[in-house]
C-alpha cells in the first residue's frame, strides 16, 4: 500500500518579501494558478488517494493546509511543534503513517518542487513500489540527470551495479555529495555518474523506522511511543517529546550510513523552485522576455518581472528589473539582486 508524505514546514526565506514566515512559498502560486503544495498533491492524486496522503507542517501553517487542501483528512496533518530538520520530520511521519497503514510503502516529497513530466514521475513511483515489494530493506531515491554544472544542489554518485526492472533500472548508490563549487560541479557533469539529489525517497515505513532507530537512536527513543499511544494522546506526546529528537538531516543521519540504497535516474523535468531565477525559467514571457503576473504593462522594456495585484505597474524604457507588490510595499529591484533579497530584510 502506497502512502505519501509531503514535507511542508519550511519558511521559504529565499522568496522574501513575497514569501513570509506567516505564509511561506509552499502556500504561494509562484508558477501557475495552483500553489506549490496544491501542485504537489495534484501530481500524486491519480495514484494515491487523499486518505493516504499526509502533510507534515508547523502548527502555524495548519490552517493554510486546511484551506488549500480541503479534501485532506484532518488526521493526515502531522504537526511539528518546532522545525528540527528532516530526520525528526520523517521519523515522526513514518511512525504516524505506520499507525494507520501498517508496513506501507512511503514516498517522501518536498512541497515546493516542479515536475513537468508528471505521468513519467507517477510511473517511476509505481515501479519503485513494485521494486520495494521484492526488496523490502531497500531505500530508493530519485536522482535527476544534470544538464548544467549546478552548485545549488547536492549530488548522488552511483555505480554500475544495476537491478533491472521492466520499466527502468535502479543503481546502487556509492555516496551522497554535498553542494559542490563550480569546478567540482563541472567535473560531476562530465563524469556522467552523478545525479542531482531531488530529496525524494521511497521506503517501507518499517525500514526507515528501523534505520532511524539504528543510526539516530536519540530521535527514535524520543518519539517511538507514537507506535502504541492512544489516539487522543498522540499530539500531546509529540508536543512533549519532539524537542528531544536529534536535529539533523536524513542525508547525514541515515542515507550516508545505510548500506542498501538505490537511485533511479529520473528525467521528469524536475526543478527545485528555490530562487527567483528558477521561477523566471518557467513563467510565461512576452516577446521582449518580460514576465507580467498581475496588473502591469511594459513599454520599450526588456527582461523584466512584474508581480502585483493592486494598482497597475507601468515600466517604460527599463531593462532587467523586478517589481514585487506586497501588502504594504512595492519593491523595485535590479534582477542581479533578486536572489539575495532576504539579505536586506532587516534594513528595509
Q: Which domains, ranges and CATH numbers included, belong to the chain?
A: 2-276 (3.90.550.10), 284-344 (no CATH)
CA atoms within a 13 Å half-sphere pointing along the CA-CB vector of 274:
10
Q: What is the pLDDT of residue 114?
A: 93
The reported pLDDT for the residue numbered 316 is 97
Model pTM score: 0.92
In Å, what is the CA distance from 318 to each residue of 236, 278, 295, 334?
55, 22, 17, 10
Cα(321)–Cα(302) distance, rounded to whole angstroms? 9
Ranges under pLDDT 70 in the chain: 160-168
The reported pLDDT for the residue numbered 132 is: 94
The pLDDT value recorded for residue 166 is 47
Q: What integer pLDDT is reported at residue 168 of this predicted model?
A: 64
Between CA 347 and CA 29, with CA 60 as vertex, the angle to 5 degrees is 70
Distances from the Cα of 37 to the Cα of 2, 24, 67, angstroms: 19, 11, 11
54 Cα distance to chain centroid = 14
Q: What H or E segment, with its residue span, contains residue 125? A: helix 118-134
What cell numbers appear for 207 in the block?
525500514
Amino acid at each position: 500500500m502506497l502512502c505519501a508524505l509531503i514535507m511542508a514546514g519550511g519558511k521559504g526565506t529565499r522568496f522574501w518579501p513575497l514569501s513570509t514566515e506567516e505564509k511561506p512559498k509552499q502556500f504561494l502560486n509562484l508558477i501557475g494558478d495552483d500553489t506549490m503544495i496544491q501542485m504537489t498533491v495534484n501530481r500524486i492524486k491519480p495514484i494515491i488517494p487523499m486518505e493516504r496522503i499526509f502533510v507534515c507542517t508547523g502548527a502555524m501553517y495548519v490552517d493554510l493546509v486546511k484551506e488549500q487542501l480541503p479534501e485532506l483528512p484532518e488526521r493526515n496533518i502531522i504537526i511539528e511543534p518546532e522545525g528540527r530538520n528532516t530526520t525528526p520530520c520523517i521519523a515522526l511521519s513514518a511512525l504516524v503513517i505506520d499507525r494507520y497503514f501498517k508496513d506501507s510503502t512511503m514516498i517522501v516529497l518536498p512541497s515546493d518542487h516542479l515536475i513537468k513530466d508528471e505521468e513519467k514521475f507517477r510511473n517511476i513511483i509505481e515501479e519503485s513500489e513494485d521494486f520495494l515489494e521484492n526488496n523490502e530493506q531497500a531505500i530508493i531515491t530519485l536522482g535527476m540527470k544534470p544538464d548544467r554544472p549546478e552548485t545549488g544542489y547536492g549530488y548522488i554518485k552511483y555505480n554500475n551495479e544495476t537491478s533491472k526492472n521492466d520499466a527502468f533500472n535502479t543503481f546502487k548508490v556509492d555516496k551522497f555529495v554535498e553542494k559542490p563549487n563550480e569546478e567540482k560541479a563541472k567535473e560531476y557533469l562530465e563524469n556522467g555518474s552523478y545525479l542531482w539529489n531531488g530529496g525524494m525517497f521511497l521506503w517501507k515505513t518499517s525500514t526507515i523506522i528501523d534505520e532511524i532507530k539504528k543510526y539516530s537512536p536519540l530521535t527514535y527513543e524520543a518519539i517511538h511511543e507514537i507506535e502504541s499511544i492512544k489516539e487522543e494522546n498522540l499530539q500531546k506526546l509529540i508536543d512533549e517529546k519532539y524537542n528531544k529528537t536529534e536535529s539533523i538531516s536524513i542525508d547525514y543521519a541515515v542515507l550516508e550510513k545505510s548500506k542498501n540504497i538505490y537511485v533511479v535516474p529520473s528525467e521528469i523535468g524536475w526543478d527545485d523552485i528555490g530562487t527567483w531565477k528558477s521561477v523566471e525559467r518557467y513563467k510565461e514571457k512576452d516577446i521582449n522576455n518580460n514576465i507580467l503576473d498581475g496588473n502591469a504593462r511594459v513599454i520599450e522594456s526588456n527582461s523584466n518581472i512584474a508581480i502585483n495585484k493592486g494598482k497597475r505597474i507601468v515600466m517604460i524604457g527599463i531593462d532587467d528589473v523586478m517589481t514585487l507588490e506586497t501588502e504594504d510595499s512595492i519593491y523595485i529591484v535590479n534582477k542581479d539582486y533578486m536572489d539575495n533579497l532576504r539579505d536586506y530584510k532587516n534594513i528595509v
